[in-house]
Amino acid sequence: MDVVFHNLNSASGLKKLDEYLLPRSYITGYQASKDDIAVHAEFSAPPSTDYVNVSRWYNHIEALLRMRGVSGEGQGVKVEGSTTISEEAPASPTIAETKAPVEEDDDDDVDLFGEEIEEEKKAAEEHAIAVKASGKKKESGKSSVLLDIKPWDNETNMQKLEEVVRSVKMEGLLWGASKLIPVGYGIKKLQIMLTIVDDLVFVDNLIEDHLTAEPANEYIQSCDIVAVNKICKFIHSNKLSYWSHNFQIIPLFISH
């Protein structure tokens, strides 16, 4: 059954979407898909940063469209009653507004979009290309993350464990300093710093899809996020400086 959203250009619609995205990285599933493209196409402008989860998701999808596009099939999504807010001349109708009405009795039909999703994806990709061609580049924020990575037992080769961790490479991820900390019974954990580009790397996905998945889980029993620090920058006396502001400490435990 499709996921349904209502009027994403209204405060109530954005609030519902923000609550929906609180525990999720994408509209459906664990990777960007046509469902994300369909919802992204409903926005005529970036959402307000007051809606933290919507803004995070929107910036991430925007970055993916600029870099390589989105190819996941998705599970089906429907946006109803979406209108563009404007106090001046009315804007031309969006793709979503020109859709033929869908019978509500067909809730079990999981393929309600078909060609419409393809058209929305094409429109979103054309928009991303136009933004890139205009030379307007949005600067992504960065965060510093501290992870505790635990082995299975005291016989785990910690050098191999760290090599496996650092072998994980992706755009927007930079591994930093590390150290081994005793936890008892001859067992040590690896504590390691990393810097991420917020629009490109989600820490929960990094842990679930890479650090606690095969083949890394041969050495890694679990991962804890100890702290997340937002890296900010400011200009002082004609010099660009960076500082780290601790905005969030997340108790997260994931084991496989």
CA distances from 147 to 80, 196, 218, 221, 245 (A): 41, 13, 18, 13, 17
Of these ranges, 27-36, 84-93, 115-124, 159-168, the one predicted with the greatest mean pLDDT is: 159-168
The answer to the question of residue 111 being in a domain is no
- Whether the per-residue pLDDT at 171 is higher than 80: the answer is yes
Could you tell me which residue, 128 or 200, shows the higher pLDDT? 200
At residue 61, φ and ψ (nearest 5 deg) are -65, -40
- Whether the per-residue pLDDT at 99 is higher than 50: the answer is no
pLDDT of residue 71: 77
The answer to the question of residue 183 being in a domain is yes
Using 50, 70 and 90 to split pLDDT, how confident is the model at 131? low
- Whether the per-residue pLDDT at 240 is higher than 70: the answer is no
- pLDDT per residue as tens digits for the range 58-70: 988 888 888 777 8
Q: Are 94 and 160 in contact (CB under 8 A)?
A: no
The domain that contains 157 carries what CATH number? Answer: 3.30.70.60
The answer to the question of residue 196 being in a domain is yes
Per-residue tokens: 191:
């504590």
**The overall pTM is greater than 0.75:** no
CA distances from 242 to 36, 142, 157, 247 (A): 33, 11, 36, 15
Rounded-to-integer distance, Cα 244 and Cα 144, Å: 8
The answer to the question of residue 62 being in a domain is yes
pLDDT of residue 174: 94
- pLDDT per residue as tens digits for the range 190-237: 999 999 998 899 988 999 999 999 889 999 999 999 988 888 655 444
Q: Are 128 and 64 in contact (CB under 8 A)?
A: no
Number of separate domains in the chain: 2
- Whether the per-residue pLDDT at 88 is higher than 60: the answer is no
Question: Exposed, middle or buried by CB within 10 Å (0-12, 13-18, 19+), for 61?
Answer: buried
pLDDT of residue 44: 84
Average pLDDT over residues 104-122: 56
The answer to the question of residue 76 being in a domain is no
The answer to the question of residue 169 being in a domain is yes
Mean pLDDT value across the chain: 76
The answer to the question of residue 45 being in a domain is yes
Rounded-to-integer distance, Cα 241 and Cα 237, Å: 10
The answer to the question of residue 192 being in a domain is yes
How many other C-beta atoms are found inside a 10 Å radius of the C-beta of residue 100? 5
25, 46, 68 - which closes a domain: 68
Q: Are 141 and 60 in contact (CB under 8 A)?
A: no
Q: 26: domain range?
A: 11-68
pLDDT of residue 25: 87
Using 50, 70 and 90 to split pLDDT, how confident is the model at 77? confident
Least confident interval from 51-60, 102-111, 230-239: 102-111
CA distances from 131 to 121, 127, 134, 140, 156 (A): 15, 6, 5, 15, 49
Task: List strand residue ranges (DSSP E) for the chain, in order.
Answer: 3-6, 77-80, 142-151, 173-184, 187-197, 220-236, 239-248, 252-255
